[in-house]
Amino acid sequence: MAGRGEFDLIADLFAPLTSSTPAALGLKDDAAVFSVPEGFDLVTTVDAMVEDVHFFPADAANLVARKLLRVNLSDLAAMGAKPIGYLLTLVRPSTVGEDWLQRFAHGLAADQRTFNIGLLGGDTVSTAGPLVLSLTALGQVAAGKSLLRSGANPGDTIYVSGTIGDAGLGLALVQDPEGQGFDNVSRDDRNALVARLQCPEPRLELGQALAGVATAAVDISDGLVADLAHIASASDVGMKLVLSDVPVSDAAARIVGTDENSRLKLIAGGEDYELAFTAPESAASRIRKISKDLELSITPIGTVTAEKIIEVRGQNGDSLPVTSSGWTHF
Amino acid sequence: MAGRGEFDLIADLFAPLTSSTPAALGLKDDAAVFSVPEGFDLVTTVDAMVEDVHFFPADAANLVARKLLRVNLSDLAAMGAKPIGYLLTLVRPSTVGEDWLQRFAHGLAADQRTFNIGLLGGDTVSTAGPLVLSLTALGQVAAGKSLLRSGANPGDTIYVSGTIGDAGLGLALVQDPEGQGFDNVSRDDRNALVARLQCPEPRLELGQALAGVATAAVDISDGLVADLAHIASASDVGMKLVLSDVPVSDAAARIVGTDENSRLKLIAGGEDYELAFTAPESAASRIRKISKDLELSITPIGTVTAEKIIEVRGQNGDSLPVTSSGWTHF
């Protein structure tokens, strides 16, 4: 394809990203070649981001790069996999110049160091439309030990890592820059919540620690209930969640308060990229140890049920209406 | 990402494409999981196609799908790899409806059968711009046996499979539908040349047979000389080609004739997706046997030289000016 030739044009920017991945052959060959160690399975996933849909021209290019990488690493985390590297497709309008690409490459380089991975290959093509970024991430997991969505059993406890709803609230703050409805949000809280949106933390260490411990896992991209529904569907089970048990950050709690409807809307927000998973009661102490070792909160929020419905329970035990749209306003 | 949710919308169309790849987990998980057999390396490549750049809205969707798949399989072929499966990113404007997607999926399904591969995963996102398709192909090759661009040695013979220039001529015919300059082209010749453009034949069996035989290989996407230059550069060698030895189809010969300038322009056309490779004299009989076994012509067209220039020699031994733009008109 013409893409190979065009990729040469920005080889100055992208070839250095392969310095830690000899498999990429310096982007000078037709494809990358590498070995998966004996006893490991290969895990692979792809996620794309489109200008004006998933990010905006004014967004910092290095953060766009890091989010693109991190949402894919989050998928690997949800499978219990350790990342190896990635392939990148850059569909570039002429308005995206070398400056933007340089900042984008810097963002990738920074996260490559953070996650100890490298670029394996790519294609760059031109477009008359918006900038499109597609990234295929590759990882490895001990053979047969990958976390699937399909293993949850009735009686299992449902857990989530970290706090839920921050990224959705961050999005509301970004979309409402004049602070309508958010007048009293402190600069620190605003920054913390927007950072959760713009630079999520893939829970790679947690995912790897949960391989062989959790019965099912998913990363929270669409929203807590929406993503747990994927486990319920794949495992042929139901779920009972306790709203007040869902962990919320101090920053989010200060904005949203304790009202049940507000909390329901808060936890419907997506893009937190925490892991939600299920595990039998017998794994509880092991999970507490993982939490302590990783210095990452892991909170039980409900129970897997045989009855195939998903319920969120309020303080007085009532079943609350599940909200599918995230936080927007008070 | 929201993509996962959106992918569900067309799960009806794409989930059946995973029926032969249990690794894809029916597209119901965060990622695909599979094992690479012991003793094999993994090979991976990505190529994207953009509406109005690489294909047009009027093009048959099933052929767009097959070309997308085949150009990636051609990259695997050039590495000597056997394909395993692929991941697909579909960046879809609202104008691309279920009809188009259905024909697109049918094209993929047809070629999955042809090449004995399956869909491993994907992401579908929406765009206000043109349709963008990005495909990551995965393959395997015996450990350490992949064909690289970097192994050519002075004295090696340069070979190409099939015939060169057909796809570029097909493009000229498509871009000149009224036949200006192509008045006398028969319908059969026109169809044959356009087919080479729209549905290239990845030389997978040849690539696999050449692993351990060829010293360097590349697939012809940019043009014969442009792609051989990649081998020359990676191998730190030069090349001497004999123009009259470059194999040309009967259809192309009928249109272009034997004039040297016309032949030079013909072979500068890209997208033939034949393999060009180098091999020592000692491999000549083995290459003839591979050609016979695969019923695929393989033609010696020149010699690798120590002097790092690329020369195309004419009938009287003169060095001809290398053309970088392909065939357009007589």
Which chain B residue lies closest to A7 (C-alpha atoms)? B47
Which residue in B134, B149, B222, B325 has the most chain A C-beta atoms within 10 A of its own C-beta, making it the best mutation to test that interface?
Answer: B134
As given in the structure block, the two tokens for residue A64 are 């766009």
pLDDT at B2: 38
Average pLDDT, chain A: 91
Residues of chain B found within 8 Å of residue A127, distances taken between Cβ atoms: 50, 53, 129-130, 132
Burial label, A28 (beta-carbon count in 10 A; 0-12, 13-18, 19+): middle
3-state secondary structure of B178: coil
For A57-99, the pLDDT digits (tens) are: 889 999 999 999 999 999 999 999 999 999 999 999 999 988 8
The C-alpha of A317 sits at a distance from chain B's nearest C-alpha, in angstroms, of 30
C-alpha–C-alpha distance, residues B21 and A97, integer Å: 40
Residue B201 DSSP label: -
Question: Residue A178's pLDDT is what?
Answer: 65
CA of A316 vs chain B CAs: smallest distance (Å): 32
Chain A residue at shortest CA distance from B45 = A31
The residues facing B299 across adjacent strands are B160
Output DSSP code: residue A323: P
**Confidence (pLDDT) at A179:** 57
Residue with the two structure tokens 């039998």: A280
Q: Which helix (H) or strand (E) holds B305?
A: strand B298-305
Q: What are phi and psi of A319, to 5 degrees?
A: -80, 125
B3 closest CB neighbour out of A30, A47, A136: A47
pLDDT score, position A313: 95
In this predicted structure, what is the pLDDT of residue A326? 61
- Which whole number is the average pLDDT over A106-115? 96
Cβ neighbours of B150 in A, within 8 Å: 25, 28-29
For chain A positions 125-154, those within 8 Å of chain B (CB to CB) are 125-130, 132, 134, 136-139, 141, 143, 146, 148-150
Query: Best of A27, A30, A149 to disrupt the B interface by mutation (most B CBs within 10 Å)?
Result: A30
A36–chain B nearest CA distance, Å: 7
Distance from CA of B4 to the nearest CA of A (A): 8
Domains located in chain A, CATH noted: 2-142 (3.30.1330.10), 157-320 (3.90.650.10)
- For residue A54, list chain B residues with Cβ-Cβ distance below 8 A: 1-2, 125
**Are the beta carbons of A89 and B89 separated by less than 8 Å?**
yes
- Contacts B87 to A, Cβ<8 Å: 44-46, 136
Residues ≥6 apart with Cβ < 8 Å to B183: none
Stretches where chain B sits below pLDDT 70 are 1-10, 177-180, 323-330
β-bridge pairing B157-161 and B319-320: unpaired
Neighbours of B195 (CB within 10 A): 15
What is the C-alpha to C-alpha distance for residues B167 and A36, in angstroms, rounded to an integer?
A: 37
Radius of gyration of chain B (CA): 21
The pLDDT tens digits for A274-283 are 999 999 999 9
End-to-end CA distance of chain B: 51
pLDDT computed for residue A268 by the predictor: 92
Residue A9 has pLDDT above 60, yes or no: no
β-pair partners for B87: B121, B136
Radius of gyration from C-alpha coordinates of chain A: 21
Q: So what's the pLDDT on residue A329?
A: 44
Q: For position B61, what pLDDT does the model report?
A: 96
Please tell me if residue A53 touches chain B, with a CB cutoff of 8 Å. Answer: yes
Q: What is the pLDDT of residue A304?
A: 98
Rounded to whole angstroms, the Cα distance separating A247 from A164 reads 6
**Dist. CA B313–CA B322, nearest whole Å:** 10
Among the partner residues A33, A89, A122, nearest to B41 by beta-carbon distance: A33
- Say how far apart CA A114 and CA B159 lie, in whole Å: 45
User: For residue B295, with 0-12 CB atoms within 10 Å meaning exposed, 13-18 middle and 19 or more buried, which class applies?
Assistant: exposed
pLDDT tens-digit series, residues A266-304: 999 999 999 999 999 999 999 999 999 999 999 999 999
pLDDT digits 0-9 by tens, B89-144: 999 999 998 889 999 999 999 999 999 999 999 999 999 999 999 999 999 999 99
pLDDT at A146 over 70: yes
Task: Tell me, yes or no, if B222 comes closer than 8 A to chain A by beta carbon.
Answer: yes
A58 touches chain B (CB under 8 A): no
Backbone angles phi, psi at A38, to 5 degrees: -55, 140
Per-residue pLDDT tens over the stretch A28-48: 777 889 888 899 999 999 999
In the prediction, which pLDDT does B330 show? 38
The residue of B9, B44, B138 whose CB has the most chain A CBs within 10 angstroms, and thus the best one to mutate to test that interface, is B44
Q: pTM value?
A: 0.91
**CA dihedral sign, ordered B209, B211, B216, B219:** positive
In which residue are the tokens 């002097």 written?
B307
Instruction: Tell me the C-alpha distance between A144 and B23, whole Å.
Output: 11
Closest CA to B200 of B270, B286, B293: B270
